[in-house]
Chains A and B, each alone.
Chain A
Amino acid sequence: MTDEEINAEIILDHYRNPHNYGRIENPTSEVTEYNPVCGDTVHMEVVERNGIVEKVSFLGRGCSISQGSASMLTDLVTGKPVEDVMKMSSDDYLKILGLDLGPAREKCALLSLNAIHKALKEEGDQ
């Protein structure tokens, strides 16, 4: 298997058995991101304490890329400093996913990253 195929399997695995799926109690913020073109939706809930992402969960509906990458992201950011998560760029995250995605599906892959950025920003604004 090529690296790309392995990465595709990993995403598919997250899609089939999503991690951190559901809601959490007393989130410090929550955000819903939606792509009107395909209807992909990711809702993220976050508990942030002392500048650390303590807990994240997501819910949603959409293609394997949008849902699989959301699940992967929740693993990735849990326990991380908010600052680091905010610094993660689209390119950084696409590199981590390691998939050869066309422009349309890159949007699917980035839905959850946009959601968490918005959630953490909202938190910071308060």
Chain B
Amino acid sequence: MIDGNLIKNDFPILSRKFHGKELVYLDSAATSQKPRSVIDSISDYYENHNANVHRGIYRLSEEGTELYEKSRKNVADFVSADAREIVYVRNTTEGLNLLAYSLGKKLSHGDTVLLTEMEHHSNMVPWQFLRDKGVRIEYVKMKEDFTLDMEDYAEKLKMRPKIVSVTQSSNVVGTINPIKEMVPMAHEVNAAFIVDGAQSVPHMPVSFSGLDCDFLVFSGHKMLGPMGIGCVVGKLEELRAMDPFLGGGDMIREVSYDRATWNDVPYKFEAGTQNVAGSIGLSAAVDYLRNLGMNNVREHELLLIRETSRRMGEIEDLEFFGPADPGIRGGVFSFNLGSVPAFKLERDLKSGNLVVSRGVHPHDVAASLDMHGIAVRSGHHCAMPLMGRMDVAATTRASYYVYNTVEDVNKLFIALNDVKREFAR
């Protein structure tokens, strides 16, 4: 069992006050806060071990290299991968761009990439770049109950996509997708399977080898680690067969004025000076999470989600976006106070639907919650197509993590009642 109240003590920022109220941080899906141990590990690196890695012969540089590689091994163990399968990048976005570039190079006119309707922009836009060379992009439909339409998935696999890229857990509606079931289906048609783990690796046990996917991508900053470090985990044979993404120092074996040959994996994907301090911070974050136990982390968030579902009924007209079953929902609570449909000129002007909308706009909800010291996100959550699909202009999203408590959920609902009153019309 995790005691969120005890854990709060490990996070210096959570003792800050806003508008006279203790900070209730409910935006961990955007970025998590950092425990003291992570912050200290970064200072320690700069105070005691800083030198460029993989280059110096002197002891200090070797120390930095050792710490960097120790971090890689630690992160590899955390997601049940081999250390050589861990490529450090800045974040999930860069990881997905790397994959879209390097795997995309091998695609040709008429090839298909299969995504889903609930992907983050970072798992759409890099693939859309490939349209220039005639690559087709297809999307697996999301059903009314916010789960993926598995029949549609099976149907679209018949197009024999070369790549399938799916988020394991949606940052907007929280759905945890059945990746374990989806991977073998994709492999049957020889598609490479990419898992966007940005919202899963921080919140539940995720095993790269267990999922048997080809690639897993995630960001350190969403899992208690620092900003600017993330991972592409890739099967060795896949990484070896791929061309590098960025060229420069460290990623080469030999360079002449005309050409270069590549270093071994993972180094061939790590061009230039790396974020060594970030990798060390990420390693400290992994230690922190391992110490809590990822099963406990998931259990803790389930508790908060169940409490949220229990309280939802208190608020009249609350629209909730996500699967009803907490068992397939991450620690994400996406909602609106009344309906907030997108304004559509043809529909609204020409149909004469001119009444003043009663829903409270998510901007107002977030600004008003801020006055209660509660930090939530409002907007499209980098998933504009999904907003359109759900016919909402935006939603408010509260997202939970290890340092949140049932009392935080309670504060949220008390404040929401106030917000409703303030903006009633």
Contacts and interface: CB of A to CB of B under 8 A. Distances in A.
A124 interface: no
- A contact face: mostly helix, strand, loop, or mixed: mixed
Contacts of A16: 424-425
B384 A63 contact: no
A39 B380 contact: yes
B341 interface: yes
Given A36-B384, A38-B393, A62-B361, A43 B345 contact: yes
Contact of B363 (A18, A60, A63): A63
Contacts of B348: 59, 61
B423 interface: yes
B393 A32 contact: no
A61 to B, nearest CB: 4
A23 B354 contact: yes
Contacts of A65: 363-364
A56 interface: no
Nearest to B384: A36
A112 interface: no
A39 B340 CA distance: 10
Given A15-B425, A65-B363, A60 B343 contact: yes
Interface string B332-355: 000000001111010011000010
A87 to B, nearest CB: 29
Interface in A20-61: 21-23, 32, 34, 36-41, 43, 59-61
A64 interface: yes
B397 to A, nearest CB: 13
Residue from the set A18, A21, A32, A64 with the largest chain B CB neighbour count within 10 Å: A64
B367 interface: yes
Given A22-B354, A62-B393, A43 B341 contact: no
B362 interface: yes
Contacts of B384: 36
Contacts of A38: 361-363, 378-380, 393-394
Contacts of B345: 32, 43
B1 interface: no
A64 to B, nearest CB: 5
A40 B394 CA distance: 9
A108 interface: yes
A83 B343 CA distance: 30
B6 interface: no
B423 A37 contact: no
- State the majority secondary structure of interface residues on B: loop
A89 interface: no
Contacts of B363: 38, 40, 62-63, 65, 105, 108
Given A39-B343, A41-B343, A63 B349 contact: no
A64 B422 CA distance: 11
B348, B349, B378, B393 interface centre (most CB from chain A within 10 Å): B393
B241 interface: no
B393 A61 contact: yes
A64 B354 contact: no
A61 B341 contact: yes
Contacts of B361: 38, 40, 61-64, 66
A68 B425 CA distance: 12
Interface string A104-121: 010010000000000000
Nearest to B342: A39
A29 to B, nearest CB: 15
Contacts of A23: 349, 354
Given A15-B425, A63-B361, A63-B364, A37 B380 contact: yes
B357 A61 contact: yes
A100 B340 CA distance: 25
A61 B340 CA distance: 8
Contacts of A22: 354
Interface in A79-126: 105, 108
B57 interface: no
Nearest to A23: B354
A108 B378 CA distance: 14
Contacts of B424: 16
Contacts of A66: 361
12 contacts: A12-B422, A22-B354, A32-B345, A36-B384, A37-B380, A38-B393, A38-B394, A40-B361, A43-B345, A60-B343, A61-B342, A63-B364
Given A39-B342, A61-B357, 14 more contacts: A21-B356, A38-B361, A38-B378, A38-B380, A38-B393, A39-B394, A60-B343, A61-B342, A61-B343, A61-B348, A63-B367, A64-B364, A64-B423, A65-B363
The 6 closest A-B pairs by CB, nearest first: A39-B393, A41-B343, A63-B363, A63-B361, A16-B425, A61-B343
Interface of B: 340-343, 345, 348-349, 354, 356-357, 361-364, 367, 378-380, 384, 387, 392-394, 422-425
Interface of A: 12, 15-18, 21-23, 32, 34, 36-41, 43, 59-66, 105, 108
